[in-house]
Amino acid sequence: MFYKAIFATFLSLFLCHQALASEFKDRVFKAGHPSLQDWVLPEKPEAPSDNLASPERIELGKALFFDPRLSGDGNMSCASCHNPSLGWSDGLPTAKGFKSKVLGRASPTVINTGYNSIQMWDGRKKTLEDQAIGPLESHEEMNTDFSAALASIRGSSEYQKLFAKAYPGEEIDKTTIAKAIANFERTVISRNSRFDRWIQGDKKALTKEEIRGFKLFSNPEKGNCEVCHSAPNFTDNGFHNIGLASFADENPDLGRYAERPLGLMKGAFKTPTIRDITLTAPYFHDGSAETLDDVVDHYVKSGEVKTNLSPNLKELKLSEKEQKAIVAFMKSLTSDSDPVTLPQLPRI
């Protein structure tokens, strides 16, 4: 019994200790402090065991990602909407698809999606492999004629070589196309911002205002942002209705409700990462916020539309100076990434 009690005490100490890192009251806002290390992203996103990374797979995936010839009209690639020059998004309020048709939702960035456990605004895809064929097949997006696209890839000796090196012994088909694209996407990473350097101990990496902004961002009694934009990728991979004005439209986008028909999920969308957030305006799934100041204004009002609002949104008491500090903090989350080189596409 005595030993059991000691064991239980140890176990609870251990469990409490694990819990420490993620709770505001236990965080110490000093550069490199151990209580902040849950913000460090792994060097690379984890790959599924049947699709581990290799330079050949990444090279092939990059070619496919940038190849407009896969699309029905031969003019649209993944990069049309996930454009590296625009933070791997498109700068539009909501995407423009096949023949420039305006679509219902904004193009999310591809940056750091490899770190997330669920994909799409409504979470209808789990992995990047599951996701990659969707936009090709969609009549509203790339409108690919797959038999024609596969025929031209299979007929290209240069593509044949790339596939043989990347996936020896596997077919050239939708599965290997999806695997290669996913492998490439897992190299689109942001983990070297001034914020990251500060977390790792570089005292000069953040200004005083940005550090104040970080505290406010984390503090449940102040900005209360971290409850959803949580470590390490500033997302809980969860779904929340944050009260956008568009939820009052006649036929509003119900978001996650389409996948999980529970009252709470009506108008709930996935929490996006806010790494590299300065590169991807306008914001929200409907593109309704033009600037980060607009975003913070939205939260200060705790939403425009109050029906079915997430219970995790609170009334915020933030002075103007505090709101500015949160915006300043978000601006420190952009990495100085290496320039993106475009692939010379295989002849087909």
State the catalytic residues: 141
Burial label, 311 (beta-carbon count in 10 A; 0-12, 13-18, 19+) = exposed
DSSP symbols for 80-131: HHSBGGGTTB-SSSS-B-GGGPBPSSPPPP-TTGGG-SSBSTT--B-SHHHH
Closest contact distance (angstroms) between CB of 296 and ligand HEC is 6
Nearer to another protein, 190 or 224 (CB): 224
Stretch that binds ligand HEC, among 13-21, 32-40, 43-51, 127-135 (CB under 6 A): 127-135
Per-residue contact track with another protein, 227 to 246, x per CB under 8 A? x--------xxxxx------
Nearer to ligand HEC, 36 or 120 (CB): 120
The 3-state DSSP class for residue 255 equals strand
Closest contact distance (angstroms) between CB of 8 and ligand HEC is 35
Whole-number Cα distances in Å, 257 to 134, 219, 269, 281: 20, 29, 9, 26
**Which residue from 75, 72, 80 is spatially nearest to 96, judged by alpha carbons?**
80
- According to CB under 8 A, which one of 37, 117, 187, 307 is a site residue for another protein? 117
CA max distance for the chain:
75
Does 223 sit near another protein (CB under 8 A)? no
Whole-number Cα distances in Å, 153 to 71, 80, 121, 145, 268: 12, 20, 31, 12, 39
Stretch that binds ligand HEC, among 13-21, 23-31, 95-103, 206-214 (CB under 6 A): 95-103
In this structure, is the dihedral angle defined by the CA atoms of residues 28, 33, 38 and 44, taken in order, positive or negative?
positive
DSSP assigned state of 251 = S
The 3-state DSSP class for residue 278 equals helix
Does 225 sit near ligand HEC (CB under 6 A)? yes
Stretch that binds ligand HEC, among 4-12, 74-82, 150-158, 198-206 (CB under 6 A): 74-82
- According to CB under 6 A, which one of 41, 63, 110, 162 is a site residue for ligand HEC? 110
Residues 282-321 that bind ligand HEC (CB under 6 A): 283-285, 292, 295-296, 299, 310, 312-313
- According to CB under 6 A, which one of 166, 180, 265, 326 is a site residue for ligand HEC? 326
Burial label, 10 (beta-carbon count in 10 A; 0-12, 13-18, 19+) = exposed
Closest contact distance (angstroms) between CB of 195 and ligand HEC is 14
In the block, tokens 């009260």 appear at 243
Measured from the Cβ of residue 348, the count of other Cβ atoms closer than 10 Å reads 16
Q: Quick check: bond before 232 cis, omega within 30?
A: yes
Does 212 sit near ligand HEC (CB under 6 A)? no
Which chain residues interact with another protein by CB under 8 A? 8, 11-12, 15, 18-19, 22-23, 117-118, 123, 220, 227, 236-240, 256, 260, 262-265, 268, 310-312
Which chain residues interact with ligand HEC by CB under 6 A? 65, 76, 78, 80-82, 95, 97, 103, 105, 107-108, 110, 113, 119-122, 128, 131-132, 135-136, 141-142, 181, 185, 223-225, 227-229, 240, 242, 244, 269, 271-272, 274, 277, 280, 283-285, 292, 295-296, 299, 310, 312-313, 326
